[in-house]
Structure 1
């Protein structure tokens, strides 16, 4: 499976290609490790951790390994993407293992990238 990955040396690498269109507006999720700590944004605004719906690690985000803070990031991305905490929770563990645990220091992911990954989950269930 071709997963989105960031590249710390050459800047962000985006896995989405041109010409992808979907029913929902395209969003871009970006993660950076800065001198001030972890920063995750969606379309330039801080991504809400959604620990009000599911608290894996409070408001903490992390990536590049499997654990509570990467799980919180996976849940937050999926909840923002779907607008549905129930569906996000059902996919969080797999998305964390397959995608978030494989992010580099800097990463970028679009809604099309997320749809591509989730479609492999849906196809596997069929």
Structure 2
């Protein structure tokens, strides 16, 4: 079976810890992270990365869609 982005069981880490999906900020993809296209999985990954990096909920919510479009969607489907 071919997967786009994260195959089932994939754990995305930040600073050696599993990345918090931050569903409390926006629930775009409760089934998990993904990348390589424009969709809900990439949106959740972009949100989680920015929330972890910026540590500012307002800035995260203001910028995660642009980050998804410019960075996360542009990643190769298979890493």
Unaligned runs of 5+ in 1: 1-31, 107-126
Q: Contact 1:38–1:62 at 8 Å: present in 2 too?
A: no
Aligned residues: 74
> Mapping of 1:1-126 within 5 angstroms?
33=6, 36-58=8-30, 60-104=32-76, 105-106=78-79
Alignment RMSD (CA, Å): 1.8
Q: Deviations over 1:50-109 (max 9, x none)?
A: 001211112510000000110000000000001112101111111001000111233xxx
Structure with greater Cα Rg = 1
Q: Return the alpha-carbon distance in structure 1 between the equivalents of residues 72 and 10 of structure 2.
A: 14
Q: Greater share of strand residues, 1 or 2?
A: 1
In the superposition, the TM-score normalised over structure 1's length comes to 0.53
Q: Contact 2:38–2:69 at 8 Å: present in 1 too?
A: yes
